[in-house]
A and B are shown apart, each in its own frame.
Chain A
Amino acid sequence: MTPALSARGVRKRYGDLEALRGVDLEIEPGEVFALLGPNGAGKTTFVEILEGFRARSGGEATVLGVDPERGDLVWRSQLGIVLQSAGFFEQLTPDEAVAHFATFYPNPLDPRRVVDMVGLADKRSSRCKDLSGGQKRRVDLAMGIVGDPELIFLDEPTTGLDPQGRRQMWEVVREFTRLGKTIVLTTHYLDEAEQLADRVGVIIAGQLVEVGTPRGIGGRERALARVTFALTGNLAGRPLPETGADTATRDGRVTITTATPTAVVAVLARWAEANGEPELPALAVSRPSLEDIYLAMVEAADGGEGREGDDA
């Protein structure tokens, strides 16, 4: 199958600054791909190159089979772009703005239905200038999808939304996924990437350092589990049993890092029982979250790397 999007060795240089240092990526049709990375890492530059808003300094790219630098209006008609902060039709209502954008496309969705989909049914007749930041974000999304695009670029779609608004946005994204559309998403919310994305990619200092599923990225699936509990009550001051795993005690809290958490908990439970404490106080078994993995990657890469100036 032809990929929906492909980048090979994509570079971007601003004077002496290398904002992108050769990014390779392929995204399949129907895939939801989330791009993560700290501010200034080159995420926005990369996406803008794919959207045809910026020229690249080197490498190859195709989006829906077309080089974005040569993308014409037919190509544009198959793309939906939801920008992070773009000028607004302050004086129009959501209905008017979305219906206006619908006229640009050969086969648009019903604009009123799109306004409903993004959860603005009760604001459809208010001027956009009177909407809240989160409501404007929904209008952004509605304008981006009303053309019924094959591929949607979403630049931080839920920034500024309340939890309920975020879930509603996610539903809209999922609805497009069910229709087989391809979605490229940038976000700072790792739970969002985990909820929506089939794969995530992490850009740090102009390079795509990792690509994988939200569950598997950075060796997360194979990562060791942590068993923690508190040394309180009858357990205070007792010597710990032998578990064969890496154990650390700090401020009365024990952390055991292990590949076999079930066996460790069994040993601990017997030990606690024997010491007159049938319940292990504050017991928790956890695996590193996507956020832990991501932050570890960012920290590992941190230090002396070039930063891009105008990337937000």
Chain B
Amino acid sequence: MTALPASPAEFRPNAPGRLIRLSLERTRIEIKTFFRAPDQVFFTFLLPVLFVVIFSTIFSGEIEGPPGVEKVEFSQYFVPGMIASGIVSATFASLAMTIAVEQHDGLLRRLSGTPLPRSAYFAGKVGLALFTAFVIVVLILAIGVVFYDVSLPTDPKKWAVLAAVFLLGVATCSLLGIAYTRLIRSSSSAAAIVQPPYLVLQFISGVFLQYSQVPPFLKVVAAAFPLKWMVQGLRYVFLPDWVAVDDYGGEWQVERVLLVLGIWLAVSFVLARVFFRWNRGYTG
């Protein structure tokens, strides 16, 4: 507590120090609230784990490359897709649904009646998404390594790309989830509106199948969205180079992956600013 009350003129609500402090405070509360609902915790982490187990069990074969190269186990092949899928579910899907509920039950109105900056609210949501996505990635890798012979990259450059794709993916998909809430008209319809685009994109971006099997015209569609690029960047991290020839026509194009994700981050930031509404009851 400060000894002297500051006059309103001295109060700078968007001062950087205050934004950082409130972003951390919002993140702390989001994570605390998340862990106090055990069913939510369980299902958030259960789904990616189930995917890894089911895929690794059903597709137990190998992908053969050109003569003379090492084969790739399916369990290894699908790790990047599982990670990308886990990131999208922890960010886009989860945020769109929880924010829609908060919008419709009035929690956002309550917050919007306070001097909390909107960006700190976003930061708290992204902070929670970052945290859950990180746990999901660690779980996927741990189960893969322990039970399904998944091998981790040794090249530090690949770890750096993993970190970059993870952070760009989390930030972009979180902001898209925030923007997407504009389409959700009631909290009961949230899941029905959120799931379709995310499921369709998973298929055409090659999360559940080899990208070489996706028809060319759907590849064009997939390339317009970030998920395809996340998968591509993550495949570079976990798969040998010859897979890029099959799936992406030659090179991994890591620089291009990062560039596209960077552009998407900027776009999604703008979309979130434009489409997000504190208050659905607000009639302008």
Contact yes or no, A92 B106, CB < 8 A:
no
Contact yes or no, A103 B21, CB < 8 A:
yes
How far does the Cβ of B8 sit from chain A's closest Cβ, in whole Å?
5
User: B279 at the A/B interface (Cβ < 8 Å)?
Assistant: yes
Residues of chain A lying within 8 A (CB to CB) of residue B14: 73
Number of residues on chain A facing chain B (CB within 8 A): 34
Residues of chain A from 90 to 114 with CB closer than 8 A to chain B in the complex: 91-92, 96, 100-101, 103-107, 110
User: B256 at the A/B interface (Cβ < 8 Å)?
Assistant: no
Contact yes or no, A92 B32, CB < 8 A:
yes
Docked CA distance A55–B281 (Å): 11
Q: Which residue of A lies closest to B10 (CB)?
A: A106
Given A73-B13, A73-B14, A110-B1, A78:B8 Cβ within 8 A? yes
Docked CA distance A96–B114 (Å): 16
Docked CA distance A81–B279 (Å): 15
Contact yes or no, A77 B33, CB < 8 A:
no
Contact yes or no, B33 A53, CB < 8 A:
no
Contact yes or no, A105 B282, CB < 8 A:
no
Docked CA distance A104–B8 (Å): 14
Residues of chain A lying within 8 A (CB to CB) of residue B101: 87
Q: Which of A55, A85, A96, A105 contacts B115 (CB 8 A)?
A: A105
Number of residues on chain B facing chain A (CB within 8 A): 37
User: A83 at the A/B interface (Cβ < 8 Å)?
Assistant: yes
Contact yes or no, A104 B22, CB < 8 A:
yes
User: B117 at the A/B interface (Cβ < 8 Å)?
Assistant: yes
Q: Which residue of B lies closest to A78 (CB)?
A: B8
Q: Which residue of A lies closest to B105 (CB)?
A: A87
Docked CA distance A81–B106 (Å): 13
User: B283 at the A/B interface (Cβ < 8 Å)?
Assistant: yes
Docked CA distance A72–B284 (Å): 17
Given A91-B36, A104-B116, A105-B115, A53:B11 Cβ within 8 A? no
Residues on A lying within 8 angstroms of B by beta carbon are 14, 48, 51, 53-55, 72-74, 76-79, 81, 83, 85-89, 91-92, 96, 100-101, 103-107, 110, 127, 143, 147
Residues on B lying within 8 angstroms of A by beta carbon are 1-2, 5-6, 8-11, 13-14, 21-22, 25, 29, 32-33, 36-37, 101-102, 105-110, 112-117, 279, 281-284
New A-B pairs, 11, CB < 8 Å, besides A78-B8, A87-B101, A88-B105: A55-B283, A72-B13, A73-B13, A74-B115, A76-B115, A77-B11, A86-B107, A87-B105, A89-B107, A91-B32, A106-B11
Would you mind naming 25 contact pairs between A and B with Cβ atoms under 8 Å apart? A51-B113, A53-B113, A54-B281, A54-B282, A55-B282, A73-B115, A73-B117, A74-B11, A74-B115, A76-B114, A77-B115, A78-B8, A87-B106, A87-B108, A89-B29, A89-B33, A92-B33, A100-B29, A101-B114, A103-B25, A104-B114, A105-B115, A106-B11, A110-B1, A143-B110
